[in-house]
Amino acid sequence: MVNMQKIAVIGCGFVGSTSAFSLIQTGLFSEMVLIDANKERAEGEAMDLSHGSAYLTPMKIYAGTYDDIVDAGIIVITAGANQKPNETRLDLVKKNVNIFKSIIPEITSRNCEGIILVVSNPVDILTEVTLKLSGFPANRVIGSGTVLDTARLKYVLGRHLQVDPRNIHAYIIGEHGDSELAVWSGASVGGIHINHFCELRGHFQHEEAMERLAQEVRDSAYEIIERKGATYYGVAVAVKRIVEAIVKDEHAVLPVSSLMQGEFGLDGLCLSIPTVVGQNGVEKVVDIHLNNEENEKLQASAKALKDILNSLDI
Ligand code: NAD
């Protein structure tokens, strides 16, 4: 029996610990288990987080073992090496696939029935690896995908247009990485097409602005890593948003990474498309409209991922 008030975080580095910090502030959980290959690290984070919880919702936070996660409603995996300066997310692949080969059997051998949320990079590849190694149904394996990139897009657009990012409907889809794309054809603000809203704000060079802003989003992880070595606050909030949608059964539309099963002519790989997310995990991949150029870019993004998957021994 899964307990939706119990969450496990595997990997307690920058991303795991900041995700845990944002999760304890939701008030959604009564229990959080932290696991890390470095047990002392998990213990230290659990102690530190527990002290904060005294002013939040009371909950039990502890460093545990895989035996402690059996009934966890959600298992967040952030374990793995992170991107080094000038390293692409895809360069990380072999290192992190091997780490997942040690983690996933620990979960499946205990018949866990919760939802796995993969955050480690390259997230689309590792979501697919998790699906294959776990044998879980596709709805129960979710990658954080382009939820972070979409937040970045909304942020840069909000700044550009002087409008609340929450009133912008626009998505980054495809790979969480270099081949991702912005779906400009369906982007809107306050119910009108984005180009029209741009004109209301005195911006008329649409092509130039779209190119510049999408590039800023695509390069933002590199820019942050160059300055401070890792990115973690943005993704921690993205993790919180996905987890909240699951636990509260929100049926929220989020661009998580999940298994493509014929959508856009794609099969047998995970990437991000706006998806209805609720307590069963992936409910429905939304068949969004793409123009020809966007569809070509999505196919290229899928091909880049497929080439990597084909080179892996999974
Ligand atoms: P980090 O090095 O700070 O932490 C990784 C942690 O994983 C370490 O504490 C390490 O001990 C632990 N670990 C390694 N092998 C393990 C194993 N077998 N079992 C349990 N724990 C293990 O790295 P980080 O900055 O926290 O990044 C973690 C991952 O998140 C990286 O892959 C990074 O690229 C990714 N990331 C994803 C996004 C996203 O949007 N999806 C954003 C930022 C970072």
57: pLDDT strictly greater than 80: yes
Same domain, 161 and 105: no
> Which pLDDT value is given to residue 89?
65
Same domain, 135 and 236: no
Q: How much of the chain is in helix, strand and coil states, percent to nearest 5?
A: 50, 20, 30
Residue 144, pLDDT score: 98
Ligand 1 cavity residues, CB under 6 Å: 10-16, 35-38, 41, 78-80, 82-83, 96, 99, 102-103, 119-121, 123, 144, 148, 176, 230-232, 235
CA distances from 77 to 135, 163, 171, 219, 313 (A): 16, 34, 24, 24, 21
pLDDT in the model for residue 142: 98
What mean pLDDT is predicted for residues 79-107? 86
pLDDT above 80 (res 87): no
Total domains in the chain come to 2
Mean per-residue pLDDT, 205-212 = 94
As a whole number, the mean pLDDT across the chain is 96
Q: What is the longest distance spanned by two Cα atoms in the chain?
A: 59
- What tokens appear for 9 in the block? 């975080």
| Mean pLDDT, range 92-102, rounded to an integer | 92
**Which of 109, 128, 143 finishes a domain?**
143
Task: State yes or no: pLDDT of 83 exceeds 70.
Answer: yes
What are the residues whose beta carbons fall under 8 Å from the beta carbon of 16, sequence distance 6 or more?
9, 10, 34, 36, 45, 76, 78, 79
Round to whole Å and give the CA distance between 128 and 16.
Answer: 20
Are residue 135 and residue 185 in the same domain, yes or no? no
77, 119, 217, best to mutate for ligand 1 pocket (most atoms within 8 Å of CB):
119
Q: Which of 117, 143, 169 is the last residue of a domain?
A: 143
Domain residues for 207? 147-310
CA distance linking residue 161 with residue 183, whole number of Å:
17
How distant is the alpha carbon of residue 97 from its chain centre?
17
Mean pLDDT on 261-290: 97
Q: Are residues 11 and 18 in contact, defined by beta-carbon separation less than 8 angstroms?
A: no
Tens of pLDDT along 8-56?
A: 999 999 999 999 999 999 999 999 999 999 999 999 999 999 999 889 9
In tens, the pLDDT along 150-190 reads 999 999 999 999 999 999 999 999 999 999 999 999 999 99
* Euclidean distance between CA atoms 296 and 298, whole angstroms: 5
- Residues 190, 63 share a domain: no
Give pLDDT, residue 90. 67
Tokens representing 31? 């229990």
Specify whether 78 is located in the same domain as 187: no
Has residue 276 got a pLDDT over 90? yes
What percent of the chain has a predicted confidence (pLDDT) above 70?
A: 99
Residue 214, number of CB atoms within 10 A of its CB: 18
pLDDT value at position 78?
Answer: 98
Nearest CA to 256 among 231, 232, 235?
Answer: 235
Q: Among the options 160, 176, 193, 251, which is catalytic?
A: 176
Question: What's the whole-model pTM score?
Answer: 0.97
Chosen domain end from 143, 173, 195 = 143
